[in-house]
Amino acid sequence: MRKVSLRVFKAVLPYLYHYRRQYLGGFLCLLVIDAAQLAIPQFTRRAIDLIAQGDFQWAQVGLLALAMSGSMAVISLGRFLWRYFIHGSSRRIEAEMRSRLFGHLLTLSYDFYQENKIGDLMARAVNDIGQVRMAIGWGLVALVDGTVMATGILIIAFVQDAQTALFAILPLPPITMLILLFGRVIGKRFRRANETYSAMSDTVQETFAGIRVVKSFVKEWWFIRKFADTNEDYQAANMALVKLYGVFFPLISFLSGLTSLILILIGGIRVIEGAMSPGDLVALFSYFQMLIWPLMGAGFMVNMIQRGAASLGRINEVMERKPSIVSPVVPVRPQPDASVPLVEIRNLSFNYPGGGETGGKTLEDISLSITTGAVVGILGRTGSGKSTLIKILTRMVDPPPGTVLVKGVPVGEWDLEELRALFGVTPQDSYLFSHSIKYNIRYGLAAIGSQIEGPQIGGPHAENQGEDALVSWAARLSAIDQDLGSFAAGWDTLIGERGLTLSGGQKQRVAISRAAIGSPEILILDDSLSAVDAETEKRVLSSLLAERRGKTAIIISHRVSTLRNADLVVVLDKGRISESGSPQELAALGGFYARMAALQQLEQTEGGGGV
Do 117 and 207 share a domain, yes or no?
yes
Q: With bands split at pLDDT 50, 70 and 90, how would you rate the model's confidence at 462?
A: very low
CATH code of the domain containing 349 = 3.40.50.300
Q: Please check whether residue 385 lies inside any domain of the structure.
A: yes
121 and 198 housed in the same domain? yes
Confidence (pLDDT) at 1: 45
Position 459 scores a pLDDT of 43
pLDDT at 376: 94
Query: 95-99, 220-224, 394-398, 599-603 — which is least confidently predicted?
Result: 599-603
- The string of DSSP letters for 309-376 reads HHHHHHHHHHHTPPPSS---SSPPPPPP-TTS-SEEEEEEEE--GGG-SSSS-SEEEEEEEE-TT-EE
Residue 347 shares a structural domain with residue 483: no
Asked if residues 480 and 503 have their Cβ atoms less than 8 Å apart, the reply is no
Q: How confident is the model at residue 607 (pLDDT cuts 50, 70, 90)?
A: low
How far apart, in whole angstroms, are the C-alpha atoms of residue 181 and residue 175? 10
What was the pLDDT predicted at 611? 34
Cα angle: 577, vertex 578, 581; to 5 degrees? 85
CB 526 within 8 Å of CB 425:
yes
Residues 236 and 382 in one domain: no
3-state secondary structure 271-289: HHHCCCCHHHHHHHHHHHH
Pair 262, 165: CB distance under 8 Å: no
Average confidence (pLDDT) over 571-575: 90
213 & 161 share domain: yes
Is 333 within a domain?
no
Residue that wins the pLDDT comparison between 247 and 519:
519
Q: Read off the pLDDT band of 571 (50, 70, 90).
A: very high
Q: For residue 15, which amino acid is it?
A: Y
The Cα–Cα gap between 107 and 100 comes to: 11
Same domain? 245 vs 260: yes
> pLDDT-based confidence at 452, cuts 50/70/90?
very low
Domain extent, residue 511, equals 429-520
Q: In degrees rounded to 5, what are phi and psi of residue 474?
A: -65, -35
Alpha helices in 485-567 (DSSP H): 504-516, 534-547
DSSP 2: P
Tell me if 343 sits within 8 A of 370, measured CB to CB.
Answer: yes
Cross-strand partners of 311: none
- Within a domain: 574: yes
Instruction: Verify that 238 and 170 share a domain, yes or no.
Output: yes
Asked if residue 353 has pLDDT above 80, the reply is no
Residues 304 and 165 in one domain: yes
Predicted confidence (pLDDT) per residue in 13-34, tens digit: 999 999 999 999 999 999 999 9
pLDDT band, residue 254 (cuts 50/70/90): confident
Section 545-550 average pLDDT:
84
- Residues 285, 264: contact at Cβ < 8 Å? yes
Residue 606: predicted pLDDT:
64
H or E segment and range at residue 105: helix 88-107
Q: Please tell me the distance from the alpha carbon of residue 343 to that of residue 394, in angstroms, as a whole number.
A: 11
Distance of CA 365 to the CA centre of its chain: 39
Closest CA to 180 of 301, 2, 302, 305: 302
Q: Summarize pLDDT for 264-317 with one digit per residue, the tens.
A: 888 888 888 888 888 888 888 888 888 877 776 776 777 788 888 888 988 999
Percent of the chain with pLDDT over 70: 91
Cα–Cα distance, 195 to 4 (Å, whole number): 13
- How far lies 120's CA from each of 206, 210, 239, in Å? 11, 17, 21
In a domain, 199, yes or no: yes
Q: Which of 493, 520, 547 is the last residue of a domain?
A: 520
Quick one: pLDDT band at residue 377, thresholds 50, 70, 90?
Answer: very high
Whether residue 278 is contained in a domain is answered as yes
369: pLDDT strictly greater than 70: yes
Last residue of a domain, one of 289, 319, 349: 319
Sign of the CA dihedral with 569 first, then 570, 572, and 577 last: positive
Answer yes or no: is pLDDT of 256 > 90: no
Please compute the mean of the pLDDT values over residues 222-227 and round it to a whole number.
Answer: 87
Q: What is the mean pLDDT of the chain?
A: 84
Mean pLDDT of 37-42: 91
Share of the chain above pLDDT 90, in %: 30
Can you give the pLDDT at residue 20? 94
- Is the pLDDT higher at 212 or at 253? 253
Q: Clarify whether residues 458 and 583 are in a common domain.
A: no
| Residue 260 reports pLDDT greater than 60 | yes
Tally of domains within the chain: 3
CATH number for 76 = 1.20.1560.10
576 and 497 in a common domain: no
Tens-place pLDDT, residues 482-506:
888 888 888 888 887 777 788 888 9
> Is 7 contained in some domain?
no
For residue 359, how many other CB atoms are within 10 A of its CB? 11
Least confident of 185-199, 353-367, 541-555, 589-603: 353-367
Predicted confidence at residue 3, as pLDDT, reads: 54
What count of other Cβ atoms lies within 10 Å of the Cβ of residue 305? 24
Amino acid, single-letter form, for residue 460? P
At 184, is the pLDDT very low, low, confident or very high (cuts 50, 70, 90)?
low
Residue 435 has pLDDT above 90, yes or no: no
Q: Please tell me the distance from the alpha carbon of residue 118 to that of residue 207, in angstroms, as a whole number.
A: 12
Structural domain contains residue 82: yes
pLDDT score of 84: 94
Q: Which positions ≥6 away from 111 have C-beta within 8 Å? A: 324, 353, 397
Any alpha helices (H) in 124-219, and if so which ranges?
129-134, 140-168, 172-209, 211-216
Single out the residue of 238, 260, 253, 266 nearest to residue 296, CA to CA: 253
**34 and 112, same domain (yes or no):** yes
Same domain, 98 and 125: yes
Q: Is residue 335 part of a domain?
A: no
Confidence of residue 337 (pLDDT cuts 50, 70, 90): confident
| Chosen domain end from 496, 520, 544 | 520
